[in-house]
Amino acid sequence: MANTFSGKLVLVTGAGSGIGLEIALAFARAGARLVITDVNTGALGVAEAAVAALGASCVAVRCDVTSEEEMLGLAERVKAQAGVPDILVNNAGIGYFGLFLDTPLAAWRRVLDVNVMGVVHGIRAFLPAMRNAGGERWLVNVAPTAGFPPAPSMSAYAASKHALVGPSAVLAM
């Protein structure tokens, strides 16, 4: 990724740990300017320091992707302070492991709210300005392969990740 992303503004949700943090670090190494979000402020602070240690410009903002209001507010704040993202990485997600009948409805709702509606909120908040800004812009919706051959103990997680494939394909059209 070296130099390809130099100076590009990249927003990564769920960047406090795991895949999101690794994505943010990779873009930082490639010279991108970053906005990173997470609901966990402690993890977000550690991630911000790790990105900054690589010499990248980084703004860390606590944001709950399940809240349409927070995502719309984030989009306004980012546009006012840093500009329109060149790349939006909808990465925030949570897992849940349990057999289908052992998975409470509250767990299903939480997983779907974060993993599916979080992406919907991100797209709806950022895509209009990204389209209006013109130029090459990218929307990345993280949907690991867990939705394709899922494990028997991850029905809610697999359903949520599989649910991202359809809208992502439609947007690509």
- Contact in structure between 36 and 87 (CB atoms under 8 Å): no
Return the structure tokens found at 63.
């944001």
Range list of β-strands (E), 26-168: 33-38, 58-62, 87-90, 138-141
Mark 66-87 as b/e (b = at least 16 C-beta within 10 Å). bbeebbeebbeebeeeeebbbb
**Residue 157 bears catalytic tag:** yes
Q: Which of 5, 27, 126, 157 is catalytic?
A: 157
**Distance in Å from the first CA to the final CA of the chain:** 25
Beta bridge partners of 90: 141
Sheet of 33-38, strands arranged across:
58-62, 33-38, 9-12, 87-90, 138-141
Q: Which residues are within 8 A (CB) of 163 and not within 5 positions of it... i.e. 6 or more apart?
A: 112, 115, 116, 147
Catalytic site residues?
157
